[in-house]
Structure 1
Amino acid sequence: MASPDLRDMLSKLCIDVRDEPRFNCSKEWEIKSVVGFCHDSGEQKYRIAWQDSVLSKTELMCSLINNKWPLYRFARQITPAGSGSQLCVAWEETWEPANAIFAAAELIHEYWLGVYQSRGPLPGQLLHQHWLTLH
């Protein structure tokens, strides 16, 4: 299986989540930060955490495990972790090589920021030009 274009895939996913009618909300998105993300136990597994999201935990989970979303199609395993506000995602071996940890971290972190911060520019070095074109 060929590796997908990660940046293109995540950009489209940001648009899909933002435009999903059942996720529409009249108030500001309340995500404050992506709490953490790590390469887990030497495997191709990443722990994604968030806090203060306007979406319920169930909706956050559904946004990844529903098979219409691209991340699901390339994930080997998605499981809740920790306090219930974290997910562990184990990617297919052909999707992201283990030695590309930092690049994968940057893209996933950027994805969460892109989905939950709907107004203004994204902060920090994780903002890339392709995201700016969405606004």
Structure 2
Amino acid sequence: MGLDRPLKVYVDGGCRPNPGRIEVAVVARGEIRFFDDLGEGGNGEAEWLALCLGLEVAQSLAVPLFDLLGDNRGVIAQASGVWPCRSALDRRYRDRFCALAKAAPPRRLRWIGRHQNLAGIALDRRR
């Protein structure tokens, strides 16, 4: 990958049932990483965890530029600062994300449709 092209890191989280056991998938460089021991919670919490774990995966790859892509419009907008975090849970996760991002922030956060989200497709196939 050239230095001018950012790495795309796809993230998705969910739980079965909702609320229930949280699971997250992160896809970077064609590799799928699943995270299962994340406790219980709702879909919103799962999506925030996915974004934070995706950030950590990208940072561990030590690439100069990366984008985080997810299909939860609300979490992407809140993490980007475009939408306010109205709940204490969302504020706590946004603070966690921002603290993690200080070390190596994404070039951008981008909402994509579910059918484009490689992490979401991986979670669906796993079920």
**TM-score (structure 1 length as normaliser):** 0.37
Instruction: From the two aligned structures, give the one with the greater strand fraction.
Output: 2
